[in-house]
A and B are shown apart, each in its own frame.
Chain A
Amino acid sequence: MSTSSTQGSGDRRVAASTLAMAGLARERAALYGLLATLFRHQPNQQLLLSLRSTELREALTLAGMNLDEDFFNADVDELSDELAVEFTHLFLLPGHLISPHESVQLKGGSGLLRGPETARVREYYTAVGFEIDPATPMEPDHVSIELEFLGHLAGEEASAWESGDSGKASDALHYQQDFLEKHPGRWLFDFLQKVESESGSDFYRGLARLTADLCAEQQELLPQLINRFEAYHEAS
């Protein structure tokens, strides 16, 4: 089904709405991408300088990630080192780490690194049509990869809206809701809560909060978007 065949003022409204949906999805995709990056590696100087740019500083604040002045004024090399230590402590160092893997964190799950849950996540990606570069050192159920996948789905949604393929957009919305519910939704909030309470860094506390807020919002919003779309589809 395509919305491009409708006529008149309705056309414009639909087109405007579609464009808005595309824009929103594109932003969401970018945000997932940013979060995936921040959970994947310790931030290097270049990334930190970008985060400290006026544009991103405002956007982070608007998104609810309030970083103190030290973050913006500290020597970038020192800040990078400090965050690298924190990143390693939080996610990599045995005896201290909060494992960023679904298979380890899922309550009632295997508790194993690369557990059976990991395979289910990989199968989900495959079923949707995605695959991970074999050179990727992360497991498919690493928080960073799951967030990246949500970003890809949002990107698919945006492209679909942009090309007027609302059916595909709807599919992408369904996948986002479904994946969020079946995977991140079952472990991510608990994981992020641990990061928020254990981290001594404003940056990682803020990152955890921001990620939790986004996912919570999406959990609430996605069913509404899907319902609205389906209602509109039925009405038209």
Chain B
Amino acid sequence: MLNRRNFLKLGAASAATGLAGTAVMTRAADMHAWGNQDFSPKTGRERKAVPSACYQCVTRCPNVTYVEDGRVVKIEGQINSIRSEGVMCAKGQGGVNQPNDPDRILYPLKRVGARGEGKWKQVSWDEALSELAARIQTLKDRGEPEKFMFHYGRMKSSTSKMVKTFLGSVGTATIGDHTSICEGGKWTAQELTWGGHYDTWDFDHTRFVLNFGSNVFEAGTNHVPTSHRLIRAMAERNVRMVTFDVRLSNTAAKSSEWVPVKPGTDLAVVLAMCNVVMSEDLYKGDGEAFLSFCKATGDNHAGTEEKVAALKAHFGQYTPEWAEKISGVEADTIRRVAREFALARPACAISYRGAVAHYNGNDTERALQTLAAITGNIDNPGGRCKAVGPKWHSPKGPKDLPKARKLAILDGPKGAAALPTHHMSHNVLKMIKEGSAGRPEIYMTYKYTPIYANGETQENIEILKDESLIPYFVVCSPFYDENAALADLILPEPTYTERWDWEDMVSPVQIPEFYIRQPAAKPLGETRDFGDVVCELAERLGTPLGYQTKEEFVRLSCEMTPEVAAVGGFEYMKQYGVYHDPKAEPLYFSYRKELKPEAYEKDSVVYDAETGVYWDWKKAHAESREAALEKGYTHTKKSYTGYVGQRIGDKVYSGFKPDKLNKSGYLEIYSGLVEEKGFPPLPTWTAIPEHEKMGPDDLIMTTFKVATQIHSRSVNCKYLTELYHKNPAWINPVEAAKRGIKDGDEIKVKSPIGEIITEAKVTPAINLGVIAISHHCGHWEYGRYASGNKAPGGRDDDPDLERIWWRDDNGMHPNWIIANSPDPINGQQRWMDTVVQVSKT
């Protein structure tokens, strides 16, 4: 019998004797990538597979979109992606419903009746853009371009580059984002500690995960790339995860241990863990070594011993017993988990809105950074790492533009937040109403629904309806959402399955991945990519951007980006969708890179003796070398933009490069910047004022997301909304019994802002003293699947509609009763602090 060896011998002999055959076939194209094939169940024909990218949530996973008869029929994960490894969450798969939603806006619409009355007429793009361009031109002519305010929700990568270039050409810097209602506070805390924001969680190499308020298995800013790795780590390597959360989320349920915690007291627990690490000398080893790269006292040049002494002294007050009284978490548990975390080596500390969307959220994140730092779990394999993403090169747009002007309405009322580096989007409408900092004459939103996404829904509606406050309101959206219903002009966008982009989300493996989004199907109706729209607007305003379309911008970017150009540029990306350098090594310990003298021994670089920072005063646009030296690094405006490196001892390191703030190159456990604003420089316990004044029958209301919906832009996807379409309020049986509430009862939830009526879900899966209501539901617009507003002439025999409305209830939006209130340091919207009274109706 032949074995493999015999076969091979025969093959070799055949080749040697020239009997291997004559080929009649040649390769016509590069061999196609393995996998990602799909076939029509009806015809058996292979479906067209388009490598593209998801845009349901900010994670933006590479995907493969299957097309049959010009229609998107299926979306699955891109198996060649090092980020998602072919995994796609329910939300991403449900995106298949986006392009075919019958309630899309297909043509530009102009308001005809009173604002919000619902009277519209279709207008041509020419008419729509003529009108908008004329209004912008008027503001430019008046020297008030800043009165054109652009406010975006989900805008990233190539779209962001193009739109911001356009806004720069107009001369407005009144550009609002939505980050403060998301996780902006977490980013500010990171900017204060290790500089450029974003933490990557290295689950592939970790041994233990400590989770404060992240629903990592259901949602999150890098959801699938992290969650599937975490599941794998837990299943294959028995990695333990301990989750502190007020609610038994699916993440908590899948954790090795769920520790219920009182809302807003995560900080106390983390401080107590720092106490355990310092008091039990668990910092020794990696943590102690890492302290060289930390600032832990007011003196930037303090030695490790001084730092240890300062930290021991500071955290000494936060004993586990002290934290137990505040958080409800037993001291023994705190002590045990802290030890486990410190000794796991490596261990990964993760967090999200559950921990940071509080009055004291800034210090909660700073405390977690500290805990990771003193245990040596920063930017290391298996720890909490600095983000690594692809660096796309792209066309720069017009040169010599005038300095942009800005209305001071982005950061909330003066003094409301000390360092709102990601603005205070939830206060923009309030600022417009108040008016002292001026008001925009054109208010334009892009993929953003301040009405629905912010707190104080009723006030948002009233402000946006008031033409004396906002004279002209333009909405760019594929769907008729709550915002669009109040607009003066609607510019319809294609869904993400019909558009171009290059993408740049960070990688969980510390190796950058380049990827693109390309249209799988022709855009429906007259919808136009907003990237194309800004190109035309710029032309009309006399400052062309230098490219005509988003496709051209993406193509040029592929050609300009060395890594992508080297493998075939745009054509390669269209064929494969993703690219990473197969020889690249994961980037860890980026702060340890030693700089060569030529990097900092330059005429334009000065040394700041106080901080130990070398910085390029020219790059930072300081007046002069003398002025730079006189004012110093910390107090020169935007000196961080010229940061070069950090001197530590006799060496200069790349350190923790600052962003948005004049932080040193240390990981700053001790923050002089915070101190200057009147807050404690080291992470310090601060109680939530409203929680201190709670009555005996009050509860704290928190919010959350589920695995099958994104915050507010997926409920029109009927597959997803069939799965989740109502959001009863979770309440503990003990709390329910006190109020005579039974499961399924109608209840009233009242806050200082107002009250809502909803349904009770009585469950022990929520902590005492808490009521939790998810986002996603209670839409009153956004089409039939989201709102329940079936058009009078809509199909009433759609079985999917029937499944969604089987109880005639599309839930209740909690934001009606949540105040638009900031963390006093970073401006983060405090989603989790609302004190409410709950009663049976």
In the complex, whether B137 has a CB less than 8 A from a CB of chain A is: no
A95 interface neighbour in B99, B480, B798, B800, Cβ under 8 Å:
B480
Stretch of B104-112, B314-322, B567-575, B707-715 that contacts chain A: B104-112
A119 to B524, CA, bound (A): 14
Q: CB within 8 Å of B: which of A106-148? A: 107-108, 110-116, 118-119, 122, 134, 137-139
In the complex, whether B479 has a CB less than 8 A from a CB of chain A is: yes
Nearest-neighbour CB distance to chain A for B142, whole angstroms, equals 30
**A49 cross-chain contacts in B, Cβ below 8 A:** none
Nearest-neighbour CB distance to chain B for A211, whole angstroms, equals 15
Stretch of B147-155, B204-212, B264-272, B779-787 that contacts chain A: B779-787
A96 interface neighbour in B109, B479, B792, Cβ under 8 Å:
B792
**Are A98 and B794 interface neighbours, CB within 8 A?**
yes
**A122 cross-chain contacts in B, Cβ below 8 A:** 69-70
**Are A98 and B793 interface neighbours, CB within 8 A?**
yes
- The residue in chain B whose Cβ has the minimal distance to the Cβ of A111 is B798
Stretch of A5-13, A17-25, A81-89, A150-158 that contacts chain B: A81-89
Q: CB within 8 Å of A: which of B513-560? A: 521-522, 524-526
B100 interface neighbour in A85, A113, A138, Cβ under 8 Å:
A113
A115 interface neighbour in B71, B120, B787, B793, Cβ under 8 Å:
B71
- The residue in chain A whose Cβ has the minimal distance to the Cβ of B105 is A94
Nearest-neighbour CB distance to chain B for A220, whole angstroms, equals 26
- The residue in chain A whose Cβ has the minimal distance to the Cβ of B104 is A113
Asked if A84 meets B783 with Cβ closer than 8 Å, knowing A96-B792, A97-B791, A112-B102, the reply is no
**Are A85 and B784 interface neighbours, CB within 8 A?**
no
A35 to B794, CA, bound (A): 22
- The residue in chain A whose Cβ has the minimal distance to the Cβ of B793 is A98
A59 to B101, CA, bound (A): 39
**B794 cross-chain contacts in A, Cβ below 8 A:** 97-99
**Are B107 and A115 interface neighbours, CB within 8 A?**
no
**B784 cross-chain contacts in A, Cβ below 8 A:** 94-95
A113 interface neighbour in B102, B113, B781, Cβ under 8 Å:
B102
A160 to B801, CA, bound (A): 47
**B479 cross-chain contacts in A, Cβ below 8 A:** 94
Q: CB within 8 Å of B: which of A177-202? A: 191, 194-195, 198
**Are A194 and B119 interface neighbours, CB within 8 A?**
no
A42 to B122, CA, bound (A): 8
A105 interface neighbour in B120, B782, B787, B795, Cβ under 8 Å:
B795
A195 to B99, CA, bound (A): 25
A90 to B103, CA, bound (A): 12
**A96 cross-chain contacts in B, Cβ below 8 A:** 118, 791-792
**A87 cross-chain contacts in B, Cβ below 8 A:** 121-122
How many chain-B residues does the 8 Å CB contact rule pick out? 43
A112 to B676, CA, bound (A): 58
B122 interface neighbour in A92, A107, A114, A195, Cβ under 8 Å:
A92
In the complex, whether B598 has a CB less than 8 A from a CB of chain A is: no
**A114 cross-chain contacts in B, Cβ below 8 A:** 70-71, 99-100, 521, 524
A92 interface neighbour in B69, B119, B120, B521, Cβ under 8 Å:
B120
In the complex, whether A101 has a CB less than 8 A from a CB of chain B is: yes
**Are B525 and A137 interface neighbours, CB within 8 A?**
yes
In the complex, whether B789 has a CB less than 8 A from a CB of chain A is: yes
A119 to B103, CA, bound (A): 20
In the complex, whether B236 has a CB less than 8 A from a CB of chain A is: no
In the complex, whether A104 has a CB less than 8 A from a CB of chain B is: yes
A88 to B112, CA, bound (A): 11
Nearest-neighbour CB distance to chain A for B33, whole angstroms, equals 27
**Are A95 and B783 interface neighbours, CB within 8 A?**
yes
**B118 cross-chain contacts in A, Cβ below 8 A:** 89, 93, 96
A78 to B69, CA, bound (A): 42
**A88 cross-chain contacts in B, Cβ below 8 A:** 109, 120-122
**Are A95 and B121 interface neighbours, CB within 8 A?**
no
A51 to B485, CA, bound (A): 33
Q: CB within 8 Å of A: which of B117-159? A: 118-122
In the complex, whether B650 has a CB less than 8 A from a CB of chain A is: no
> Which of B68, B106, B113, B121 lies at the interface centre, i.e. has the most chain A CB atoms within 10 A of its CB?
B121
**Are A89 and B120 interface neighbours, CB within 8 A?**
yes
**Are B70 and A81 interface neighbours, CB within 8 A?**
no
- The residue in chain B whose Cβ has the minimal distance to the Cβ of A109 is B795
Asked if A93 meets B120 with Cβ closer than 8 Å, knowing A98-B792, A119-B69, A137-B525, the reply is yes
- The residue in chain A whose Cβ has the minimal distance to the Cβ of B120 is A88
Please name 6 pairs of A and B residues whose Cβ atoms are closer than 8 Å in the assembled complex, sorted by A: A95-B784, A97-B794, A111-B795, A116-B68, A118-B71, A138-B525
Task: Spell out B's residues near A (CB within 8 Å).
Answer: 68-71, 99-107, 109, 112-113, 118-122, 479-480, 521-522, 524-526, 781-784, 787, 789, 791-795, 797-798, 800-801
Given A94-B103, A99-B793, A195-B793, 5 more pairs with CB closer than 8 A: A90-B793, A97-B794, A113-B524, A119-B71, A134-B522
